[in-house]
Amino acid sequence: MDLRDTPDEARFRAELRDWLAASLPDGLRGHRGGAARFEGEAVREWSRALYEAGYAGLTWPKEYGGGGCPYSYQAIFLEEMARAEAPHHLGVIGLGMAGPTIIAHGSEAQKARHLSRILSADEIWCQGFSEPGAGSDLSAVRTSARLEADRFVVDGQKVWSSFAHIADWCLLLTRSDPGSERHAGLTYLIVDMRSPGVEVRPLRQMTGEAEFNEIFFSAVEVPVENVLGEVGGGWQVAMTTLLHERGTLGFALTAALEVAVRKLIELAQDRGATATQRDAIAREWIELQGLRFTAYRSLSALMKTGVPGPEGSILKLQWSEANQRLGKLALELLAQDAQLLADNAPYGGYWQHHQLRSRGNTIEAGTSEILRNIVAERVLGLPRSR
């Protein structure tokens, strides 16, 4: 056990810190997040700069344009990005889900076509899993894919699809066998969002922004070479995507929470805090350290054994609930000023946005109830509730 950087890790961290200090445009530092980050070209250019400096896809194999680095480098990267308050690479779904799924299940042609373009932010991806009738129970998807000669014809509707309005490609879970039920008969397609018959309608969230969308598919033609994995084997491929959604996110989440806790402490120093609020702030700082070191433990297990430790399954659950508590605590410190928005608001409305956006955290990427089911059944070994 040694929580310090190895000499190689320390060198990587120092180089990265220097690079960030020199390369991060001032206008992007401390960017609030949310939908505003997709406006204009600045974040796309920033993403490309990350790619050119070798910081996109650090853990991906070198042959696909990645860095071939150990997972600890990715952790350091996320920590330093958060410390510098640098915005994330634009291709959140591409880097976190599409890429790892294609690496695991893709054909050589798919790998060659997409992987390096994901890293360079030339391709933005979205995830088309949820449907009006299939949310927590993903196996209820009904969007149909009918095989006709050398192509699938897709009809149906997806919902809550983040980034679909800026996406070039979609990870689409479909039902290819109309008589099938549940986990059988599903096929995983990668769909060009510019295909005829694809229509994206943005949905406005409670923050007032539109980060997610409905996607309608009417007779959309998808060539068979765009099947990811086997026809009828879509469920297994979807599980890879979800594993990556929930697994490798731990460090990104911790790093983001660290920024928010730092801002909360500054807010309390600016505005003063009651004894009860001081207690709550200390608790959040302590919980943050617990989360950080749990992510380290899970990462150490991953580096030693190739699979993340079971404790990794709680990171998103804990983070989402902590992030919500932070937002509420900050608004309490702001008192009546918490009602102000945008330019009128202290800190440019950072906390008002944070608090509302955090309500989505316990719903997206698996609700807290579903994550508790997963811990109960897969980690504790309790009998299945369904």
Partner 1 sequence: MDFAFTPEQDELRSQARSFLAAHPEPSWAELAGLGWTGVSVPEELGGAGLGFLEEAVLVEEMGRALTHAPFWSTVAVVLPALPPELQAQVAAGEASWTLALGPLVPDLDTATRIAVVGGDSIWELDGAGREMLQTNDATRPLGVVTGGSAGRRLAGSELLPRMRTRSRAALALEACGVGARALELAVAYAKEREQFGRPIGVYQAISHPLATTYMELELARSLALWAAWCIAVDDPQAGLAAAAAKAQCAEAAVAACERSIQAHGGIGFTWEHVLHRLYKRALWIQSWDASGAQLRSEVAARLLDGEGE
Q: Tokens 């993903």 map to which residue? A: 138
Q: Which two tokens stand for residue 247?
A: 């697994």
Q: Tokens 């700082």 map to which residue? A: 285
Q: Which stretch binds partner 1 (CB under 8 A): 32-40, 45-53, 166-174, 289-297?
A: 289-297
What is the rounded CA–CA span in Å between residue 375 and residue 369?
A: 10
Residue 304: contacted member of partner 1, ligand FAD, none (CB under 5 to 8 Å, by partner type): partner 1
For residue 373, the surrounding DSSP H or E stretch is: helix 368-374
Q: Which stretch binds partner 1 (CB under 8 A): 52-60, 164-172, 174-182, 378-386?
A: 378-386
In the residue annotation, 245 being an active-site residue is answered as yes
SS3 134: strand
Under the criterion CB under 6 A, does residue 200 sit at the interface with ligand FAD?
Answer: no
Q: To the nearest whole angstrom, how small is the minimum distance from the Cβ of residue 99 to partner 1? A: 24
- Measured from the CB atom, the residue of 76 and 121 that comes closer to ligand FAD is 121
- The alpha carbon dihedral of 50, 56, 62, 64 has a sign of negative
CB 31 within 8 A of CB 52: no
Under the criterion CB under 6 A, does residue 74 sit at the interface with ligand FAD?
Answer: no
Under the criterion CB under 8 A, does residue 75 sit at the interface with partner 1?
Answer: yes
Residue 350: contacted member of partner 1, ligand FAD, none (CB under 5 to 8 Å, by partner type): none
Residues 154-183 that bind ligand FAD (CB under 6 A): 160-162
Instruction: Give the strand pairing for 186-192 and 212-223.
Output: unpaired
Strand partners, 190: 171
Please work out, in degrees rounded to the nearest 5, the angle formed at the alpha carbon of residue 248 by the alpha carbons of 245 and 253.
90
Under the criterion CB under 8 A, does residue 180 sit at the interface with partner 1?
Answer: no
Q: Could you tell me which residues come within 8 angstroms of residue 286 by beta carbon, excluding any fewer than 6 positions away?
A: none
CB 366 within 8 A of CB 246: yes
How far, CA to CA in Å, does 155 sit from each of 119, 143, 151, 186, 219?
30, 6, 13, 14, 5
Q: To the nearest whole angstrom, how small is the minimum distance from the Cβ of residue 173 to ligand FAD? A: 8
- x/- binding map, residues 86-125, to ligand FAD, per CB under 6 A? ----------------------------------------
- Measured from the CB atom, the residue of 51 and 251 that comes closer to partner 1 is 251
- x/- binding map, residues 341-380, to ligand FAD, per CB under 6 A? -------------------x--xx--x-xx--x-------
CB 119 within 8 A of CB 56: yes
Under the criterion CB under 6 A, does residue 129 sit at the interface with ligand FAD?
Answer: yes
Choosing from 80, 211, 245, 284, which is the catalytic residue?
245
Q: Which of 19, 38, 216, 285 touches partner 1 (CB under 8 A)?
A: 285
Residues that bind ligand FAD in the complex, under the rule CB under 6 A: 126-130, 135-136, 160-162, 212, 360, 363-364, 367, 369-370, 373, 386
Which residues form the catalytic set? 245
